[in-house]
Structure 1
């Protein structure tokens, strides 16, 4: 297939035709919300599995509600739009899906509709090497300003500034503190560290996205590794004395951190717990753990 297809408001169209107007509110004011969803190919089962599809669709509904966007979307349509896009493109490899709901009106900043729905899916390889990161001078946006618990496109300018600052400073990536001076998250990724053998992550009240991957890893740590994740406030200096650390998210999967502010972590990255949870996660998303098959939606119906 020379040109991939996207879903646009009930139709599958070529990439070159998937457009909106430059004067739409989505362009002018960033009035859009989205989900990043992963689909994983199982060579053994000859099936493509969408990971936690319903959870992602429900979070998109939460984003639409908080951004007060008028719509008539249903859960069935959201699910259908993703599955049909994957089938049309006939993917037989790992894929990242971006599902976006946007205000199409050419109106004032307070316009709430009409709302369109678009889905793009493109191949994406597994996350790469361990990262050397810094603590950003930029502060994570607080829930009282622009709620980071949802995936509003405009929120990502906060992380963009932090990521660009990190690149300019010679780092691979960055993590942000919140307005209380506690560790929040990375741009587009949740953050875990390990201290004293205990996996730890900032709480959902630390101005973080309500990450589906984060929730998944908390459950896998408990059920497969016998470890209870500590969900608590994390100080900046804890990053420097941690044994391990990693990012996680639909796009980031499980990506190890090697150093923070040029201070190496206690274990060479990836550390033993990072390797263990990454292995469990990838077995689960590829349908190799029967107890978690409920998390997977087959695209082609072969499994």
Structure 2
């Protein structure tokens, strides 16, 4: 992946990459009044055509975030959808595309200011996780996960990701690839930017939505096709030590995709290698997002041009 972005969208206008502007006294800067989505467009290996994976679900989620954040007069989903579909061919990529869509308050104000509401979209290259094939080493963080009554994790708000940044920097200092976070009840929530699954005794377990996790589009995707593959999936509260005795562990998210975990708190997971169930699910996910499988065509939005 080495292509260079040429254009971005700011408040509906397609402008050269270098001309993107945001006032330093805007609410988006001074109070992190921004919600966002990370969205991927995949290139078909044979035809070279692009399709955006689960675009409408990402747009629906950003609308929920805008509602909870009480932004006034946001752009319509149709406007943002049309902009994204034009942005990809305008940048003339030669590999997969990562789209960062943001809705933000782009004027000055105070903590109660609700507008004016603007939006931006950028299309950039993004490499795969270094652990995609070999697996990740993770440790539990001493930081506690945000809760619905403080800074709701179901909102993909920029402000929420400061907590994930603290977790990530601690993980790096401790020698891990990334970290897992416990919620205020001591149950496992997720990793910074990724949801968690474990395989144990032939079952697939994942923290439920009340475990202070993001309502992840990728998690929903994995649950759906795992059940289609005949796996029993349980959305339940998960204890830390369940990962110690799990047969397999993996993370998933739009950015991470589906990545095995081979070590937790320096304890080997299973045989210490990416497990067979994880690799089957990873291959299935790859086929679905890239369009080499004909299943779930409703999840792929074709990009023209």
TM-score normalised by L of structure 1? 0.96
Counting matched residue pairs gives 300
* Unmatched segments (≥5 aa) in structure 2: none
- 1:279 aligned counterpart, secondary structure: helix
> 1:43-93 deviations in whole A, cap 9, x for unaligned?
312210100000000100000000001124212111112111111102231
Match of 2:233 in 1: 229
Q: Does 1:103 align with 2:66?
A: no
* Aligned structure 1 segments of 4 or more residues deviating by more than 3 angstroms: none
Match of 1:265 in 2: 269
**Mapped partners of 1:171, 1:279: distance in 2:** 25
> 1:117-153 deviations in whole A, cap 9, x for unaligned?
1001111233332111100000000001000012000
The correspondence for 2:130, drawn from 128, 131, 136, is 128
The change in CA–CA distance for 1:2 and 1:127 in structure 2 (over 3 A counts) is: closer
Match of 2:167 in 1: 162
Match of 1:137 in 2: 142
Match of 1:30 in 2: 32
Match of 2:68 in 1: 66
The correspondence for 1:189, drawn from 191, 194, 199, is 194
* Unmatched segments (≥5 aa) in structure 1: none
Give matches, 1:33-112, under 5 Å: 33-112=35-114
**Mapped partners of 1:46, 1:108: distance in 2:** 47
- 1:291 aligned counterpart, secondary structure: coil
The correspondence for 2:250, drawn from 246, 267, 275, is 246
Q: Is the 8 A contact 1:105 1:111 kept in 2?
A: no
- 1:278 aligned counterpart, secondary structure: helix
Match of 1:281 in 2: 285
**Mapped partners of 1:271, 1:2: distance in 2:** 36
> 1:207-254 deviations in whole A, cap 9, x for unaligned?
00000000000001011x201211101001111111111110000000
The correspondence for 1:6, drawn from 5, 8, 19, is 8
- 1:91 aligned counterpart, secondary structure: coil
> 1:249-272 deviations in whole A, cap 9, x for unaligned?
000000111111100101333110
Q: Does 1:15 align with 2:20?
A: no
Match of 1:214 in 2: 219
Q: Is the 8 A contact 2:250 2:261 kept in 1?
A: yes
Q: Is the 8 A contact 1:128 1:255 kept in 2?
A: no
